[in-house]
């Protein structure tokens, strides 16, 4: 049972027709989404407000339709996307958080955010991220652009935000896993440029577990470009977009 299957069944009941949705991206099992966009085509005329209410009435408590709008028939949620923003959540404490066993990575050590940020800085910009790709056989290029990486902490909670024009398979989780290895002294922060240059997955760190990862925002339209390109503030990372 997948999120897509559950959503399609709910929409089909509301529209009284079989519906297939086109999502903005594929996500691994266990990954969450604060915001996920999809499009669909239907012969049924229905106000967007009624669509939201109707579909939510058939969805389980862990899935919710937040908004809906009519778009041009040529619109595609994946191919018209200009960029995405992900966050990765870590609970850094010897004691587990019983309220978030599947919502954050439980990391039993202190996490040095300044050290991790110094390691992350060389990743910002346009690079070949082949070393940070779990499976590169399905893409034509491994070159991507990261516009921003921010790492902030509040108490035992660490939030890593990554914003870019697109991401390779497991790319965010490998970046996080590499920063964890930097924190543990298995990789030096100064090694990151050479890891990029190597274009070798074995040079980077482990793949962090999926349940700490969230698709946070998806960017569409020219008016969103300034926000996509801008660096995030501490307040925005920790609270404003979560």
Q: Each residue of 23-48: pLDDT tens digit?
A: 999 888 899 999 999 999 999 999 99
> Same domain for 127 and 236?
yes
- For the entire predicted model, the pTM comes to 0.91
> Same domain for 76 and 96?
no
pLDDT band at 240 (very low <50, low <70, confident <90, very high): very low
> Same domain for 56 and 130?
no
Annotated catalytic residue, options 28, 128, 148, 156: 28
> Same domain for 43 and 154?
no
Q: What is the pLDDT of residues 139-174, one digit of tens each?
A: 899 999 999 999 999 999 999 999 999 999 999 999
* CA–CA separation, 116 and 88 (whole Å): 13
Domains in the chain, number: 2
φ, ψ dihedrals at 73, nearest 5°: -60, -25
> Same domain for 2 and 71?
yes
Instruction: Using the 3D structure, point to which of 27, 47, 80 is the last residue of a domain.
Output: 80
> Same domain for 205 and 120?
yes
Domain membership of residue 31 as a residue range: 1-80
From the list 20, 66, 70, the residue with the least C-alpha distance to 48 is: 70
* CA–CA separation, 45 and 94 (whole Å): 54
Residue 185 contacts residue 2 (beta carbons within 8 Å):
no
pLDDT at 234: 59
Q: What is the pLDDT of residues 178-189, one digit of tens each?
A: 999 999 999 999
Which residue shows structure tokens 């519906």?
Answer: 19
Q: What is the pLDDT of residues 197-233, one digit of tens each?
A: 999 999 999 999 999 999 999 999 988 888 888 877 6
- Whether 28 sits among the annotated catalytic residues: the reply is yes
Q: What is the pLDDT of residues 42-81, one digit of tens each?
A: 999 999 999 999 999 999 999 999 999 999 999 999 999 9
DSSP 8-class letter at 107: E
CATH number at residue 20: 3.30.70.580
For strand 157-164 and strand 143-154, is the pairing parallel, antiparallel, or unpaired? antiparallel
> Same domain for 2 and 121?
no
> Same domain for 95 and 157?
yes
* CA–CA separation, 119 and 54 (whole Å): 47
* CA–CA separation, 63 and 20 (whole Å): 17
Residue 208 three-state SS = coil
Instruction: Using the 3D structure, point to which of 80, 102, 136 is the last residue of a domain.
Output: 80
> Same domain for 87 and 75?
no
Instruction: Using the 3D structure, point to which of 27, 46, 80 is the last residue of a domain.
Output: 80
CATH number at residue 90: 3.30.70.660
Q: What is the pLDDT of residues 104-137, one digit of tens each?
A: 999 999 999 999 999 999 999 999 999 999 988 8
> Same domain for 17 and 134?
no
> Same domain for 145 and 43?
no
> Same domain for 72 and 34?
yes
């Amino acid at each position: 049972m997948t999120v897509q299957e559950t959503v399609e069944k709910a929409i089909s009941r509301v529209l009284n027709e079989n519906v297939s949705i086109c999502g903005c991206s594929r996500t691994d099992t266990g990954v969450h989404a604060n915001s996920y966009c999809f499009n669909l085509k239907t012969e049924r005329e229905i106000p967007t407000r009624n669509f939201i209410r109707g579909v939510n009435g058939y969805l389980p408590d862990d899935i919710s339709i937040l908004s809906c709008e009519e778009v041009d028939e040529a619109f595609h949620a994946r191919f018209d996307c200009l960029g995405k923003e992900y966050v990765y959540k870590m609970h850094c404490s010897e004691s587990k958080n019983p309220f978030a066993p599947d919502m954050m990575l439980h990391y039993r050590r202190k996490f040095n955010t300044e050290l991790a940020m110094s390691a992350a800085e060389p990743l910002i910009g346009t690079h070949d991220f082949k070393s940070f790709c779990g499976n590169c056989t399905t893409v034509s290029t491994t070159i991507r652009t990261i516009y921003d990486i921010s790492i902030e902490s509040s108490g035992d909670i660490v939030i890593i935000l990554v914003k870019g024009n697109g991401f390779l398979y497991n790319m965010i989780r490998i970046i996080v896993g590499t920063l964890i290895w930097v924190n543990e002294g298995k990789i030096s922060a100064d090694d990151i440029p050479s890891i990029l240059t190597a274009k070798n997955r074995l040079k980077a760190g482990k793949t962090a577990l999926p349940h700490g990862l969230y698709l946070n925002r998806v960017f569409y339209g020219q008016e969103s470009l300034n926000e996509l390109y801008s660096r995030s503030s501490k307040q925005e990372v920790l609270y404003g977009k979560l």
